[in-house]
Amino acid sequence: MANPKPEELARIEYKPPKTGWMDTPAEIRKGMFCHAGKSKSLEYVGLPNPRQWTVMEEDWKLPENWQEIFIEGLRERVNKFRSFRLFLDICVRCGACADKCHFYIGGGDPKNMPVLRAELLRSVYRKYCTTSGKIMGKIAGARELTVDVLKEIWYYAYQCTECRRCSLFCPYGIDTAEITILARELLNLLGLNIDWIAGPVANCYRTGNHLGLQPHTIKDTFDMFADDLETFTGIRVNPTFNRKGAEILVVVPSGDFFADPGTYTTMGELLLFHELGLDYTWSTYASEGGDFGFFTSNEMAKRLHSKIYAEAKRLKVKWILGGECGHMWRVWHQYHNTWFGPMDFLEEPVSPITGTKFENAKSNKTVHICEFTSDLIKNGKLNLDKSRNDDLVVTFHDSCNTSRGMGFLEEPRYIINNVCNKFYEMPPNTIREQTFCCGSGSGLNASENMEIRLRGGLPRANAVKHVVQKYGVNMLSCICAIDRAALTASVDYWVPGTRVTGVHEMVGNALVMKGEKKRTTNLRGDPLPGMEGE
């Protein structure tokens, strides 16, 4: 399906319809949703109610007692998550969150205002879990859970990227992502997952990574990286896999093994580790830092990531180093320690190169690669030639999760400023904690929902366009594998000509290595500035 031209897509109507939202059934439209999860994916991990069903068909083949399952699930969860119950209870509908969501800004559908997205489920909660809703019904904002209501909840739960931008502005910190997360959990009780999530989850359970790369394929991939790197630098890197006794276990999002431009980030990391002589290992079993289980249910998320610690224990490493990825780090930072702690089989992480103790990670024992690298640079351990990135005019996209779930703002900027000469920020209301989502987070980076992805990508892409026009920016850097894939599509559409890179790709380019040959190309094989003729 061809997408409309950018000018057409950007003609956005923000005026809500005449009829009230409860009386305006959701129109499920192609381009806005992802295909239904396949039954074999659900079966593989034992998720409930697996079946073949199709979104556009009238009958979703729901189990007989679907209403009961959903409502029981809802009752259970409002008693397990204070966040959920509180956020369902205290919204004053002030509307401060309304125009903070990239999907509302780029699409104008009122049900994409975070407050209304939450009301879709809140109205059901009122009906079945509160006295006033039970008695007063619609006038109390309550409504019956019908098949159409269920479909509406589904449709909009998969038009939220769980970016938490809304929660930043809400006077009570109501986090619509939290509501979406639990709505998806409830939908999963009925087997209503999407293929783009269910598939990777099943893959990840079996092979250790979302892409389903088997151990020998991972090894082959790295051999190819090593070949390319040898061509570019004259140095042969020798990564090890599943090696017992290594000091550090490295885990990155598997997208960086497979898809450009993420692969260049992995190559940059390989060069860095080699140059440092780091005693580290990759794992083919724990070969995924990201967690699409997180977009399914809390339990599924935990099931997928158990392997990381099991592997760290088996290989007897001291601590874990994590790659560049957004939602991966939300999970690592805000959930791992609670799920898997205490990690007493690991040691408090210390950089073997600088001796720096990573105090902020002393309990969880996982360090972000940008923390690791910025500490190296600060301590003068890297020989960096910024001019090798002189063909790049760089801006930086903060990932939602690292900014609003960690506050990881300065570390990547410090690295960028040390590996390239031309760095320009996008407008203040679009970066750091106020950053806009790439538009495709939380498992929505499929191809069949391209229209909603492009719409959701508009605020970010528009800010990129601003710096492209103002400073001639040509490279959008980020620290997330999904960003690298999603932003590529989004800027191609909205700001053609702009490319996307990981931060460690630029590190790899700038890194002057011992015994390297005179570099003439960057990690993409493109000539370095001044080397075009050679």
Partner 1 sequence: MGLIFSFFTVVALGVIVFIGVKAADMRYLFGVIIPYAAFFAFLIGIIYRILQWARVPVPFRIPTTAGQGKSFPWIKQNTIDNPFTSIGVIIRMTLEVLLFRSLFRNTRAELRDGPKLSYGSTKWLWLGGLAFHYAFLIILIRHLRFFLEPVPLPIEIVEALDGFFQVGAPVLYITNLIFLGAVTFLFLRRVVIPQVRYISLAADYFPLFLIGAIGVTGVLMRYFLKTDVVGIKELTMGLITFSPVIPQTIGTIFYIHLFLVSALFAYFPMSKLMHMAGVFLSPTRNLANNNRAVMHVNPWNYPVKAHTYDEYEDEFRNVMKEAGLPVEKE
Among positions 97-136, residues that touch partner 1 (CB under 8 A) are: 98-100, 105, 110, 113, 115-116, 119, 130-132
341 binds, among ligand SF4, ligand HEM, partner 1, none (CB under 5 to 8 A by kind): partner 1
Contact 434, 168 (CB under 8 A): yes
Rg (Cα) of the chain, in Å, rounded?
23
Name the one range near ligand SF4 by CB under 6 A: 156-164, 358-366, 368-376, 386-394. 156-164
Task: Give the number of other CB atoms < 10 A from CB of residue 430.
Answer: 19
In the block, residue with structure tokens 């295909």: 35
Q: Shortest approach of ligand SF4 to residue 65 CB, angstroms?
A: 30
What are residue 251's DSSP bridge partners? 322
Interaction with partner 1 in 205-264: which residues (CB under 8 A)? 205-208, 214-216, 219-220, 241-244
> According to CB under 6 A, which one of 12, 56, 90, 92 is a site residue for ligand HEM?
92
Which of the choices ligand SF4, partner 1, ligand HEM, none does residue 478 contact, using the CB cut-off of 5 to 8 A by kind?
A: none
Nearer CB in complex with ligand HEM: 167/435: 167
- Determine how many CB atoms are found less than 10 A away from the CB of residue 34: 23
CB of 33 to ligand SF4, least distance (A): 15
Residue 305 engages ligand SF4 in binding (rule: CB under 6 A): no
CA distance 202 to 223: 26
Tokens 């599943």 appear where? 242
Tokens read off for 188? 């999963």
Q: Interaction with ligand SF4 in 8-47: which residues (CB under 6 A)?
A: none
Q: Does 361 bind partner 1 (CB under 8 A)?
A: yes
Dist CA 276 CA 271 (whole Å): 9
> Which residues within the stretch 166-205 sit at the binding site for partner 1 (CB under 8 A)?
167-175, 178, 205
Query: Judged by CB, which is closer to partner 1: 102, or 274?
Result: 102
DSSP string, 35-102: PBPPHHHHHHHT-SS-----TTSS-----TTHHHHHHHHHHHHHTT-HHHHHHHH------TTGGG-H
467-486 binders of partner 1 (CB under 8 A): none
| Residue 409 in contact with partner 1, rule: CB under 8 A | yes
326 and 479 in contact (C-beta within 8 Å)? Answer: yes
Instruction: Tell me if 451 contacts partner 1 by CB under 8 A.
Output: no
User: Based on CB atoms, which residue is closest to partner 1, 65 or 338?
Assistant: 338
Among 94, 135, 224, 310, the residue binding ligand HEM under the rule CB under 6 A is 94
Among 69, 86, 96, 353, binds ligand SF4 (CB under 6 A): 96
User: Reading across the β-sheet that carries 499-502, which strands appear in turn?
Assistant: 394-397, 475-478, 499-502
Q: Tokens 């528009």 label which residue?
A: 462
Question: Which CB atom, from 314 or from 381, has the smaller least distance to partner 1?
Answer: 314
Tell me the backbone φ, ψ of residue 251, rounded to 5 degrees.
-130, 125
Separation between Cα atoms, residue 442 and residue 46, nearest integer Å? 21
Provide the mask over 180-199, with x wherever binding to ligand SF4 is found by CB under 6 A and - wherever it is not. x-------------------
Residue 162 binding ligand SF4, by CB under 6 A = yes
User: How far is Cα 139 from Cα 458, in angstroms, rounded to an integer?
Assistant: 36
Contacts with ligand HEM by CB under 6 A lie at 92, 94, 171
